[in-house]
Structure formats: structure tokens, C-alpha cells
Amino acid sequence: MSVFILDHPLIKHKVALLRDVNTHANQFRELVEEITTLMAFEALNDIPTKEIEVETPLEKTMQTVAVENSVAIIPILRAGLGMVNGIHTLLPTAKVGHIGLYRDHETLKPKEYYCKLPDGIADKICIIVDPMLATGGSAVAAIDLLKKQGCTKIKLMNIIAAPTGIETVEKAHPDVQIYIAQKDRCLNENGYILPGLGDAGDRIFGTK
Ligand code: PRP
Ligand code: URA
């Protein structure tokens, strides 16, 4: 199985607030971060760990810790930026790679305008973050780009996904695990997710 719907009651609660047209940019940004942290708890449940010795006030004990630098966070600009801190809360040293894509309003096809990835990206677990998975074009383009750099362990995390976007990514990249908070009904004629939450980038950055 490659699609995981993380329908925890706390995630549902926060997604309901996120969708609300009356939720303003500052609360919207907080919610995106909080939902991402809750989702990351599950999405990162197989990261590499190692055993280290820890000395408590009473004795020495072997304990499990995460291997540093094994995960890279890859936000799709712009809206994916809103999810980065949600993962940094859990993995503060994770490196960040930026992929700049925007959807052409007429064709809905993604256009790449920026890419800067951390050194050694091919050896890391890459977690692509973007609040919205609509047609799936942007996610497929981001995964293509990472695979061209030699990445083999790729996860995709979206808060809201349309059925067609999930199908497109699954078909193009069946090896990629997709973590979503909620699967919505469909896209409208402009490629917006219904019921959705509107334009995630504009709501995070207050541009409209
Ligand atoms: C939005 C969203 C995704 C993309 C999803 O970004 O953040 O990246 O659309 O649509 P798709 O699945 O049909 O490709 P947008 O292109 O609006 O850019 P922005 O984040 O800069 O606003
Ligand atoms: N991008 C968004 O920000 N929202 C949508 O509904 C679809 C794509």
C-alpha cells in the first residue's frame, strides 16, 4: 500500500479550521505547521535509528536515537514552505531542499523556476511537502527531479489531496509513499480542489 490517510481526530479538527474561509493567515500558518507535525509522526515512523549509551542519574543504559542527516525536507515552493517548520520541530537538523514550481493557470502544468538541493541528497530519505495535491502535476515533477539526482527513498506529504492527483502520482511513481490528511471530492474547472481550502500559497503568505 502506498497511500496513507492520516485520519486522526486531532488532524481532522485542525483541517476543519484550516478550510474555514474565516481563518486568517497567521492562524492558517500555525495550523499548517501543527498538522504537518502530527502527520510527520506517522510518515517518519521508519527513519533510520541507532543505539547509543546514555547515562541517567542512576546508571548507564542503551537508548535508540534518530540517525542525524538521514532525512531531507523538500518543500515545493511556495506553499510547501509552510510545512517545513512542522517537521523541523521533530528533526531540527534535517536539511532542506527547495523546488520551485508554479502551475500555469491555463494548462495547469507545472513550470520549474528553482531547484537547490542539499549535498548528498541521493542517500537521504526525501520527504516532499506541499499542502495541496490537485492534478498531481507538481508532485510528479518534483519526484522526477529528485529521481534524476539519484534519490530512491522518496515520500510525499500533502494535507489535502484530490482523487485524480493521488492516481496520477501512484501511476507515475508507484514506489513513492503518499501521506495525506484528507482526500477530497474532485477538482473544479480551474483545477482547484473541492471542497478544498482555496489557494494554499495565497492563504499562507497573504497574497490575495
Ligand atoms: C499549488 C500547490 C501545489 C500545486 C498543486 O501551487 O501548492 O504546488 O498548486 O497543484 P497540482 O497538483 O495540480 O500541480 P501553485 O502552483 O499555486 O504555486 P504557489 O504555491 O506558488 O501558490
Ligand atoms: N493549489 C491550491 O493551492 N489549491 C488548490 O485547490 C489546488 C491547487
Q: Could you tell me which residues come within 8 angstroms of residue 15 by beta carbon, excluding any fewer than 6 positions away?
A: 35, 159, 160, 181, 182
Separation CA 188–CA 158 (nearest Å): 19
Q: What is the pLDDT of residues 132-155, one digit of tens each?
A: 999 999 999 999 999 999 999 999
CATH number of this structure's domain 3-48+66-205: 3.40.50.2020
Closest Cα partner for 180 from 196, 193, 161, 195? 161
Cα-to-centroid distance, 130 and ligand 1 (Å): 8
pTM exceeds cut of 0.75? yes
Look up 130 and say whether it is catalytic. no
Look up 119 and say whether it is catalytic. no
Q: What is the pLDDT of residues 82-118, one digit of tens each?
A: 999 999 999 999 999 999 999 888 899 999 999 999 9
Grid cell locating 86: 512542522
